[in-house]
Amino acid sequence: MRLFRSSLRRARRSLVLRWVAVAVAAALVAVEAASVGAAARAARDRWGEVAPFAVAVTRLEAGDRIGADDVVVELRPVAVVPDEALASAPVGRVVSATVLAGEVLVADRVAPGGTSATAALVPEGWRAIAVPASPAPPVEPGDRVDVLAPEVVAEDAVVVHVDDDVVTVAVSAADAPAVAEAATVAFVVIALKSGA
* 15-37 per-position pLDDT tens digit: 676 777 777 788 888 888 888 87
2: helix, strand or coil? helix
Give the end of a domain, one of 105, 120, 135.
120
The H or E element that residue 120 is part of is: helix 117-120
Residue type, position 126, single letter: W
Say whether both 164 and 177 belong to one domain: yes
Give the end of a domain, one of 93, 120, 147.
120
Per-residue model confidence as pLDDT tens digits over 57-100? 999 998 899 999 999 999 999 888 999 999 999 999 999 889 99
Domains of the chain: total = 3
Per-residue model confidence as pLDDT tens digits over 116-159? 888 888 888 999 999 887 777 888 888 899 998 888 999 999 99
Maximum separation of any 2 CA atoms in the chain, in Å:
123
The residue range of the domain holding 188 is: 123-192
- pLDDT number for residue 10: 62
- pLDDT number for residue 2: 61
pTM over 0.75: no
Say whether both 107 and 129 belong to one domain: no
Say whether both 77 and 132 belong to one domain: no
In this structure, which long-range contacts are made by residues 180-184, counting pairs with CB atoms below 8 Å and at least 24 apart in sequence? Answer: 180/129, 182/131, 182/147, 182/149, 182/153, 183/129, 183/130, 183/131, 183/132, 183/149
Give the end of a domain, one of 57, 85, 120.
120
The H or E element that residue 52 is part of is: strand 50-56
Say whether both 134 and 115 belong to one domain: no
Say whether both 24 and 56 belong to one domain: no
Name the band, by pLDDT with cuts 50, 70 and 90, for residue 170: very high
Question: What is the distance between the alpha carbons of residues 32 and 39, in angstroms, rounded to a whole number?
Answer: 11
Quick one: DSSP state of residue 110?
B
